Chain A
Amino acid sequence: MSETWLMKNLRAVKGRAYPRVVGGNREPSWVFFEIALPILTVAAYAYIYKFMSARPEFVGYVILGGAMTAFWLNILWSMASQFYWEKETGNLQLYLIAPISRMAILAGMAVGGLFMTSTRALATIIIGVFVFSVSFTLSDPLLMVLVFVVTMIALYGMGMMFASLYMLLGREAYHLSNLMTEPIYLASGFYFPVKYLGFWAAAGASFIPITLGLDALRQLFFPTGSQDAFLSVWTEVGILSALCVLFLILSRLSLDYMEWLGKSTGRLTLRWQ
């Protein structure tokens, strides 16, 4: 691997991340759609927990879950379905003929999406903390960073894998994203600890990296979080690390397969004919 090759691909990552980091903030409507609306959902659950006199940390769980939904929505709508839209606009063929790794394009999408979504998630947490007076206690900052990083790598690795698969589904990708929104909110425990779904349901949902990441973050942010934990933080870090490797390998394989299939059948390139 020469330095030139690496630099070329890093430039490609930077280039593809740029529209998300800069362009994504040029439409002020994102403040309403990506911060105000999620806060309303969070508020609904928070008031239910207050009405039920649940432990105060449950409101905190909801705020953390509400912040993490931004990442899941970003995966579905800005990673998984992205190649399909890129095909429609003609960008995809320009990415494919560029002399770089396809993974660099996907990595650029992921880095840009991660940056953009992190600002939204942080805003959701800050507003939630002020409105609902929730106190977050960070017992182990380094471990929190580790959990967040492995969760995001696994999550965006999954998004990279979905990007290739969704593209082959064409218009059905839209329906698949819709299908994976509300059910995953439930299965991944965005608004309650996943432990209460029962072991096997929680174990199944753990294939979605955000399930374990959220469970681990709740344990790290709230002193009594371990009472509601599905697995220990380190077990979850271990599983998430394995998912990182799995999804990155699968995304590479699915990307190669998608490109080969597209070139063979002409499904990637018929738009302009």
Chain B
Amino acid sequence: MQYAVETEALTRVFQPKRKKEGKSVTALDSVDLSIKQGELFGILGPNGAGKTTLLKILSTLLLPTSGKAYVAGFDVETDFQEVRKRINMVSGGEVSGYGLLTVKENLWMFSQFYGIRTKVAIERIDRMLEQFGLMDKRNEKVRTLSTGQRQKMNVIRGFVTDPDIIFLDEPTLGLDVNASRVIREYIVDWVSNGTDKTVLLTTHYMAEADQLCDRIAIIDNGKILACDTPENLKKLVKTSTMLKLDTTMLDDKRVLETIKGIEKFTYADDATNNLTSLKFVLQDESAVSDIVSEVVRSGAKILALRKTEPTLEDVFIKMVGKGFE
């Protein structure tokens, strides 16, 4: 079987510009991945986990320090021109293009770098502008677009060249609910309706990964910690109990570390509203009473306590020992 993307012990180490400036950083550490054609594959990880580095290597913008990477069966180091014929890439928060050109002109310009005839390009652009609800902005200058509109245009730029494989690096980063929804729906439709079209999506939005992806790899510190379908990943924490606890500001969380039966926990403080939100992965439900006792003893009030269904975030907390920021 030919994989859309395949990596073997892929490693990337960034050296400091000057030796004085610090140590080298291992952004990817022996990553092995196989992504099937037609798959919508997610890479889930916090900032600095190595997601973007992986995408840069696969999109031929960066060389691996060691190991191998193949895209559409071609080596990204030696056959990069063949890889480039088959891919495109969109990054979240991208400000590419030229503000003085209109939306249509910008999209047309990028289509020309892929040798698409103007007539074909304009037809595709119009169809996609309609799908993304941007038709009325067709002749507006790019610099007048809102963040969401601009990101929709970026996503159109990536898909307008009809790639076999598209790399989406946090494509909904910082967008509102509606803009994110439109982009997500388009991605799902594109994979479902295309012939062996493959999407490699990085995100640190758990729900996005859960909703969109056929399979997900969880990455942290450059290592793949788990790779499976969202359902199977969630089964990894099925035997555990997930607990959410909201309290008034809990100053000293160290007391919780000593309680037996807690596998992992994370917290978020909201000083403005005097709130602390805690999430626990418990090996043993009997730990609940100890948690409640310790919270009360520390002087905080319990505002809400509920048991939850396992989510990808729980999987992540269990594997990495921390949540996402």
Contacts and interface: CB of A to CB of B under 8 A. Distances in A.
B37 interface: no
B103 to A, nearest CB: 13
B169 A100 contact: no
Interface string A236-273: 00000000000000000000000000111110110011
Contacts of A90: 91, 94-96
A195 interface: no
B241 interface: no
B324 interface: no
Contacts of A263: 60-63
Select the residue from A14, A91, A94, A95 with max chain B CB neighbours within 10 A: A94
Contact of A93 (B61, B87, B112, B115): B61
Interface residues of A, number: 37
Question: What DSSP secondary structure best describes chain A's contact surface?
Answer: helix
Contacts of A95: 113
A117 B91 CA distance: 33
Contacts of B141: 26
A24 B100 CA distance: 8
Contacts of A24: 100
Contacts of B15: 265
A273 B53 contact: yes
A227 interface: no
Given A8-B115, A97-B87, A269-B56, A18 B105 contact: yes
Given A98-B84, A263-B63, A19 B109 contact: yes
Interface in B73-126: 81, 84-85, 87-89, 91, 93-98, 100-101, 105, 108-117
Given A89-B95, A263-B62, A269-B56, A19 B113 contact: no
Select the residue from B61, B97, B98 with max chain A CB neighbours within 10 A: B61
Q: Nearest 5 A-B pairs (CB), nearest first?
A: A15-B112, A8-B115, A98-B113, A23-B100, A99-B84
Interface of B: 14-15, 48, 52-53, 56, 59-63, 81, 84-85, 87-89, 91, 93-98, 100-101, 105, 108-117, 141, 157, 169
